[in-house]
Amino acid sequence: MSIQRLASLLLAAALCCFVVAPALGDDVLTVYSGRNESLIGPILAQFTEDTGIETEILYGGTSAVANQILTEGENSPADVFIAQDGGALGALAAADMLHKLPAATIARVANEAFVSPDGVWTGLSGRARVFVYSPESLDEHGLELPNSIHDLTGEEWRGLVGWAPANASFVSNVTAMRVLLGEEETAAWLAGMIANGVQAYPKNTPIVQATIDGEVVGGLVNHYYLFRFLAEDPDITATLHFFPAGDLGSLINAAGAAILKSTDQPYDALALVDYLLSDTAQAYFAQTTYEYPLVASVEPSVDLPALADIETPEIDLSDLADLQGTLTMIEESGALD
């Protein structure tokens, strides 16, 4: 598959999901959302119910929505952008399209790693990269838990690991590898995984299912997918491993929000961002999507280590903007063949 063909397919897939809720008045707040409607829609509806501020929402893939805003430039009708990762927010920040947020808004987020250094975007919920695994399968194969994502290229893990190379969270994770390790070492890791017979899946959910079914010992996913399975069947024995010592396999990304400089409704836009950082919204993220709340007053609703206890790599999430460059590297590695 060519790079151009891959990019076209990904963009088409994202754009086909664009849905615009009907405008309900002259002073409607326009929200561009790179988060799926099923995940963010209910809390946006609650915002309108609680505040009386009507919203018009455009949904699509995060990268596609960010590109839409970049294309529209200062004429974009968007007031607020909601993204599933820091990289897309970083791309708009680099283009000087985001409004600086008040210090009081930024201060709601307990960990400064989940806000932009210049205060133009804020995280809303945390999404940890983990190794989901079956303890029974691990024992059957005489394996020990890996200390690093790099250990998975070892012969002992041949054919026993799953990944989703086209998944947006995986792409962000590889982008972090490029930023911290460089192009050569990242490309070598991808090649090593492929040479070691890594099993490819279209997204995270099938990796968790394959782990439960014993197709693989484990796989690289976001933490919350396992809890969706546990909500249906609490007897599932699969569990999560957080790579130690700041390993890149334990990257924590953040879904986040920003206000566009071009907004003509800055107060309503800020009201929405503040609402998404309220205890009400943070509890929604914790209880409904099983993500990490980012304000100190709300705890995760499932059994997770505290964010402060995860040894995550030190990186500015805004630097994860070159997702297209990562897609090119993944395509050239043969991971999508």
**Per-residue pLDDT at 313:** 96
Write the pLDDT tens digit of every residue in 44-71. 999 999 999 999 999 998 888 999 999 9
How sure is the predictor about 324, in pLDDT bands with cuts at 50, 70 and 90? confident
**Count of helix runs (H) and strand runs (E) in the chain:** 13, 11
Same CATH fold assignment for domains 3-126+253-302 and 128-251+326-333:
yes
Write the pLDDT tens digit of every residue in 227-284. 999 999 999 999 999 999 999 999 999 999 999 999 999 999 999 999 999 999 999 9
Distance from C-alpha of 337 to C-alpha of 331, rounded to nearest angstrom: 8
Please determine, for residue 194, whether its predicted confidence score (pLDDT) is greater than 80.
yes
Q: Which CATH superfamily includes the segment(s) 3-126+253-302?
A: Periplasmic binding protein-like II (3.40.190.10)
Distance from C-alpha of 144 to C-alpha of 137, rounded to nearest angstrom: 11
Distance from C-alpha of 112 to C-alpha of 266, rounded to nearest angstrom: 23
**Per-residue pLDDT at 11:** 34
Please determine, for residue 312, whether its predicted confidence score (pLDDT) is greater than 80.
yes
Indicate the pTM of the whole model: 0.89
How sure is the predictor about 168, in pLDDT bands with cuts at 50, 70 and 90? confident
**Per-residue pLDDT at 159:** 98
Segment 180-196 shows an average pLDDT of 98
Give residue limits of the domains in the chain: 3-126+253-302, 128-251+326-333
| Residue percentage of the chain with pLDDT more than 90 | 89
**Per-residue pLDDT at 274:** 98
**Per-chain mean pLDDT for the chain:** 92
Q: Domain spanning 128-251+326-333 has what CATH number? A: 3.40.190.10
**Per-residue pLDDT at 103:** 97
How sure is the predictor about 76, in pLDDT bands with cuts at 50, 70 and 90? very high
SS3 label, residue 218? strand
How sure is the predictor about 23, in pLDDT bands with cuts at 50, 70 and 90? very low
Q: Report which of 136, 116, 153 is spatially closest to residue 249, judged by C-alpha positions.
A: 153
| Residue percentage of the chain with pLDDT more than 70 | 92
**Per-residue pLDDT at 179:** 97
**Structural element, H or E, at residue 4:** helix 3-15
SS3 label, residue 252? strand
How sure is the predictor about 22, in pLDDT bands with cuts at 50, 70 and 90? very low
Segment 221-231 shows an average pLDDT of 97
